[in-house]
Amino acid sequence: MTRNRLLAGGAVLALFVSLPSAAAGANPAEAPKDVKPRAEVFFDDFSGNELDRSKWQVEVTGENFGTVNNEQQAYVDSPDTIYIDHDDGNTGAQNGALALHPRYQQGFQAPDGGTYDFVSGRVKTEDKFEFTYGSYSARIKLPENATGSGLWPAWWSLGTSINEGKPWPECGEVDVMEHVGEPWTSSAMHGPEYNGDTPITHQQNFEGKDPADWHTYRVDWTPEGFTFFVDDTQTYQVTKAEFDANGWTWVFDDPQYMILNFATGGQYPQNVNGVTEPYPGLPQESVDKIKAGTARYLIDWVKVEQ
């Protein structure tokens, strides 16, 4: 969910642009092959009483992470913003769900001295679980009614080489799901010549379904490319052959780690909704949802198969 930043996923202005089929004038044999998983190598159904720190790290703004995309929140390590909800009858999850829950906290000061009016949660598997190729998926419930313009939950992965001398976007990023309060979600990829306003992006519409219902977002990653799915229906496919045909550098043969986060406002939502007040990309009605505690992002489970 990085957009014109030094670290972290998605597309800004070219949100609705997909790669032209001609650019993919690829031999069908070069298209990504269906992933037939042999083993489940990572699974978390958030069935414990708190986040499993053997699988996830919590990112803290101003401590191990900086502000990006002009987002309006500070990420904090707090049970108010990151917790497990076991009310399955109410949430529709099974065995509990991870909740990322932004809160209004006017004038909050981060460890680096920066001030914010919102705090939220961001977790990652970096140094806990990293992988190359396979199928990674998550069952997700977006904020209530998906009407919070400028609320920005995301599910994505980032190349581990970001800490090995390859800054973003050279490290490679895959946005499996992003949502900014519109009646669609988006997927995107970022690399050296395709980032920020990346042309590698696709909008997923729900055709009468509620985007805020539970949906499973998955991407199958092979040496030949990526295939994206929502509820087991293929929504988008990108091949390495397309990259080669466009002269773009393929940076997706190194390990990636997974990230779940809930941002508020910022550059990408603002480019979509045009809102400047009271916060960039975040209108008053969404601020009111955060203040009322009704804006939260639920994750039933996360899985990786290879």
pLDDT for 161 beyond 70:
yes
pTM: 0.89
Q: Which two tokens stand for residue 40?
A: 């489940």
DSSP assignments along 65-119, one per residue: B---TT--EEE---TTTEEEE--HHHH--SS-EEEE--EEEEEEE-TTS-EEEEE
pLDDT digits (tens, 9 = 90+) for 6-24: 333 333 333 323 333 333 3
pLDDT confidence tier of residue 4, bands split at 50, 70 and 90:
very low
Residues 255-266 as b/e (b if ≥16 CB within 10 A, e otherwise) read ebbbbbbbbbbb
Q: 1 CB contacts (<8 Å, ≥6 apart)? A: 8, 9, 10, 69, 152, 154, 156, 173, 175, 178, 259, 261, 263, 268
Q: Give the model's pLDDT for residue 207.
A: 84
Task: Categorize the per-residue pLDDT at 163 as very low, low, confident or very high, splitting at 50, 70 and 90.
Answer: confident
Tell me, what's the pLDDT at 37?
A: 56
**β-strands 73-75, 115-120 pairing:** parallel
Residue 91, φ and ψ in degrees, nearest 5? -85, -30
- Confidence band for 215, pLDDT divided at 50, 70 and 90: very high
Looking at the chain, the whole-number percentage of residues with pLDDT higher than 90 is: 79
Domain 28-305 fold: Jelly Rolls (2.60.120)
| pLDDT for position 6 | 35
What's the pLDDT band for 1 if we cut at 50, 70, 90?
low
Is residue 72 within 8 Å of 116, Cβ to Cβ?
yes
Confidence of residue 209 (pLDDT cuts 50, 70, 90): confident
pLDDT reported for residue 142: 95
Residue 32, pLDDT > 70, answer no
User: In the predicted model, is pLDDT for residue 2 greater than 80?
Assistant: no
Lowest model confidence (mean pLDDT) among 29-38, 77-86, 136-145, 263-272: 29-38
If you average pLDDT over residues 59-84, what whole number do you get? Answer: 95
Least confident residue range of 78-92, 161-175, 278-292: 161-175
Select the more confidently predicted residue: 126 or 206.
126
Mean pLDDT of 236-251: 96
For 41, the token pair is: 């190598």
Average pLDDT value for residue range 207-234: 95
- The chain-wide mean pLDDT, for the chain, equals 89
Residue 65: per-residue pLDDT: 81
